[in-house]
Structure 1
């Protein structure tokens, strides 16, 4: 049984989310503030975390950032704000997706199932290489760790998924739309700008000179490719 953590300070909303998830076969815990959510999330006992942005004691962005430094499980952020900057900031800190209040509980359940399925496929697939070594870059798919000249880089879930997909398909050009659909899925909320943000952050982490990329090449008007 998959174990879900809901971090939500509005009790009625948290209980409604819990009830719908439990009806669909999930085990659910609730944390009502950011500090409690962080403490539970860092234990690593959960398969997915539903994390509200506006929380007492510690906001959802900080909770997401600290959990992502330790664990790669899917994080679905919930926000009452529609401004793009909040969305981009949340994704940049490691969130896998976001959903805006108000939402239908059935939509939340569908989103949770989709991310769990996608995560299991990414970490459990056998047709992909366990390790990719290219010019000082080591991508270890089994442990989902990345090293540049033997120094480990701290990548978010989506940053790793994007890097691994590109590196596992070297010298092929993929459009931003294709990458968004492949990594985030058809049902994800967002657009190809999300890919641009993640590519930029990847370059900052794995490239010696992000402005003169050694690994991830921009093919103007077409998309990106991993160069070997």
Structure 2
């Protein structure tokens, strides 16, 4: 689970991180935590990577947690669960945060086990309200259809054989169309770990998904490598006016047969 902690006080941020690591470990969940001291730093990362949960302070050096909540609702395709952790305790503040989109609210100083329990509960409740792979049976992207319950793909209504990793990679690329996705994020989402299972594993899978789902310019797609970062899938009709300088580099499979 990817968790962002947006808190400008380092000591508090470290306490939150420890509470979450311990609490989620007790529940058998591996938490990968990313800390941010400013709204700007969080926005820079959240624009390119997704999070399952955001722990959010009210007062930040360059804005407020409420403003950051509004930004997430406006600009993020996949909105994470949000737990506000703040010194504010007034009823009006709690109501304002919940109305702005926070899933829960806890005041400082917090009890570590309670914080972890509220964070976990927030992600569970949020997943029930948010469209997800489990809830959406069939997703359509032009000529491509993905059945998320069976993890099967179709091109022009003909079933295409994909491995589990290939399906998850295709789902992520299509569901975040136009967004550059980092290699570490793709590894974590598809294989469940940030360390690559092989030096060319991701490139091999990208090549296979491109070929099987016909994600080429001939069929209206532009799947390109983002130099030094990762990959991005675009629909050609959305980038017709943009210069096409980012051509795929090194996407042919190597001798590394990935699994």
Q: TM-score, normalised by structure 2?
A: 0.45
Q: Indicate conservation of the 8 Å contact 2:36/2:42, yes or no.
A: yes
Q: Indicate conservation of the 8 Å contact 1:5/1:41, yes or no.
A: no
What is the rounded CA distance, in whole Å, between the counterparts of 2:134 and 2:117 in structure 1? Answer: 26
| Deviation for aligned residue 1:109 | 0.8
| Deviation for aligned residue 1:106 | 0.9
Distance 1:41 1:98, change over 3 A: farther
Which of 108, 114, 123 aligns to 1:116? It is 123
1:50 maps to 2:55: yes
What is the rounded CA distance, in whole Å, between the counterparts of 1:90 and 1:43 in structure 2? Answer: 25
Which of 83, 90, 93 aligns to 2:97? It is 90
Q: Indicate conservation of the 8 Å contact 2:103/2:126, yes or no.
A: no
For each residue in 1:72-105, what CA deviation from the matched residue of structure 2 results, as whole angstroms up to 9, or x when unmatched? 2211111211122222222222111111111111
Distance 1:11 1:86, change over 3 A: same
SS in 1 for 2:69: helix
Give the structure 2 partner of residue 105 of structure 1: 112
Give the aligned CA root-mean-square deviation in angstroms: 2.5
For each residue in 1:105-148, what CA deviation from the matched residue of structure 2 results, as whole angstroms up to 9, or x when unmatched? 11111111112222333445978999xxxxxxxxxxxxxxxxxx
What is the rounded CA distance, in whole Å, between the counterparts of 1:111 and 1:42 in structure 2? Answer: 26
Q: Which of structures 1 and 2 has the bigger CA Rg?
A: 2
Please give the residue correspondences for 1:146-225 in structure 2 after superposition, counting only pairs within 5 Å: none
What is the rounded CA distance, in whole Å, between the counterparts of 1:98 and 1:6 in structure 2? Answer: 14
What is the rounded CA distance, in whole Å, between the counterparts of 1:65 and 1:11 in structure 2? Answer: 24
Distance 1:22 1:129, change over 3 A: closer
SS in 2 for 1:69: helix
1:70 maps to 2:75: yes
1:61 maps to 2:66: yes
| Deviation for aligned residue 1:34 | 2.2
Please give the residue correspondences for 1:122-161 in structure 2 after superposition, counting only pairs within 5 Å: 122=129, 123-124=131-132
What is the rounded CA distance, in whole Å, between the counterparts of 2:119 and 2:100 in structure 1? Answer: 19
Distance 1:124 1:37, change over 3 A: closer
Give the structure 1 partner of residue 166 of structure 2: none
Structure 2: gaps of 5 or more residues: 139-259
Q: TM-score, normalised by structure 1?
A: 0.51
Size of the alignment, in residue pairs? Answer: 130
